[in-house]
Amino acid sequence: MLQKVARRVPEVLRELKSRGFVTAILSNGTPPMLAAAVRSAGLVDLLDAVLSVEEVGVYKPHPSVYRLAVDRLGVAAPEIAFQSSNAWDAYAAAAIARRARRLPPLGILAAADERQRPRQ
């Protein structure tokens, strides 16, 4: 379970939310474990969704796990940016999200559709 959230994670999530992005966690963890981790890290109000592989019945890096984000967040795959602390996770997500990066220490999924994206 996540014991300590990286110092900048809440700040980054707040910034993403202020710009109209949808934020979520996509994890191999169970829903109860993820709920406890998100609560203890103080991220409840900063995440729009906490997605568990239990919804699809297979673990990452199976493609249906990453497809879950597209389906549940209601955004097109090219609009999803996936961040992970695991290279294998970012690599697998790139097949769906197209924008995937390995950035330690906490995986954050941020997505925005055209209605939510700030005007430039």
Measured on CA atoms in the order 9, 107, 39, 13, is the torsion positive or negative? positive
What's the pLDDT band for 8 if we cut at 50, 70, 90?
confident
Q: Cis omega before residue 61 (within 30°)? A: yes
pTM for the model stands at 0.77
**Domain limits, the chain:** 13-111
If you average pLDDT over every residue of the chain, what do you get? 81
- Helices (H) and strands (E) counted in the chain, each on its own, are 4, 5
Decide yes or no: CATH 3.40.50.1000 for domain 13-111: yes
Q: Do 70 and 80 touch, CB atoms closer than 8 A? A: yes
The tokens describing 71, both together, are: 């389906």
Lowest mean pLDDT among 10-24, 44-58, 96-110: 96-110
Residue 65: what pLDDT?
A: 93
pLDDT digits (tens, 9 = 90+) for 33-79: 999 999 988 999 999 999 999 999 999 999 999 999 999 998 888 88
Give me the residue label for tokens 């300590």. 4
**Integer Cα distance of 24 and 16 in angstroms:** 11
User: 116 — phi, psi (to 5°)?
Assistant: -100, -15
DSSP state of 118: P
How would you class 41 by CB atoms within 10 Å of its CB: exposed for 0-12, middle for 13-18, buried for 19 or more? buried
Residue 75: what pLDDT?
A: 86
Average pLDDT over residues 73-96: 86
What's the pLDDT band for 2 if we cut at 50, 70, 90?
very low
